Structure 1
């Protein structure tokens, strides 16, 4: 598969993912004003569903949509450093594009810097847990007997992690950066981004360790040579 195809898939997939996160948040806040719990439910269902659809559609090309996952793929040796770098650039660019489009779809300025501060040890721990779990789900499913189930596993996990993590599970540096340019339900203030991204990287590293422990790669031993007669 050519690098430009992989990068295009990551850009398109991340753009649609972020557009869904932000757009569903805006729609939910307008349709269910004053009911934050219902707003979160609406956004989590939309995000989980779009992840299933996007991964099913783009997995044959590239469907990480997440710099943490891409970096870990490089660590595991499944992609090259050059490929990983371009995919991360595409993910960040796609995320920003998706945020701008979501703002415009709801008649908001294309870019509005978020004022929603998200900071504190509880939220950072939530991001560590969210990203750790995501990595285990992604790579655990891919190393299982049927890797075609990864779309459903990831979509289901993210929908659930919206609720069981204190941070509502950003679990993605590209999505985190993109959410700084919308001052809406899903936004995050730029000053809060470094703490979130560091927590996500830590969660990714811990997740990689968990995957190595739970799903070690089994090397097939070469057939034994017969002794000469």
Structure 2
């Protein structure tokens, strides 16, 4: 049986005392109890991780520093990323898309945290990026990248940690990856024809995923070395299409969460 709240017991005791004082006593004026209020639920938090950074190439010693890879080994802190043949860099693409995704999520009532807030720094390292979702209390974390494969290769893929190292990686991360895959398809983008399967890519070698304890995925939006896809990622309208699809996938995942 559920016990009465302490405040309810206090009111009952006061009423009993007043009754024992005798019927002739004049009752005190009754003050209406304040209406109960309920605090609004805090907005969900989403971590966005724009891949690489604008000054990584200028600080080779910093980004070559070895950090834990999350599976008992080590790997480089970060890399410079790739670029189109015309020189449009992955770090700039990732940061621009992340800003566009953030704007859409914030308009939908989501609080967004970024692993970097400009495109003129170094790092952070991949292990820090992987832990950032936990530090932010994120319901979902998405690392945004573009690939640098052979020019004939094309399409997007969404990577998640496999084999999983914790419950978030075992189930929710796969659900997040699937939601993003479906949203990218709905946005008119094609599954990768050179890595993964059905637009999904289980990976054990990505430290940013291995260190994650919140649902975390990495989206390789396109192959920047493919001429057709390079044209899309290099255009503002193309980046906006990627952002719209990623935001839709994140919101779809959040709607399914309890």
TM-score of the two chains, using structure 2 as the length reference: 0.26
By percentage of residues, which structure has more helix?
A: 1
Bigger fraction of residues in strand: 2
User: Structure with the greater relative contact order (CA < 8 A, sep ≥ 6): 1 or 2?
Assistant: 1
Bigger Rg over Cα: 2
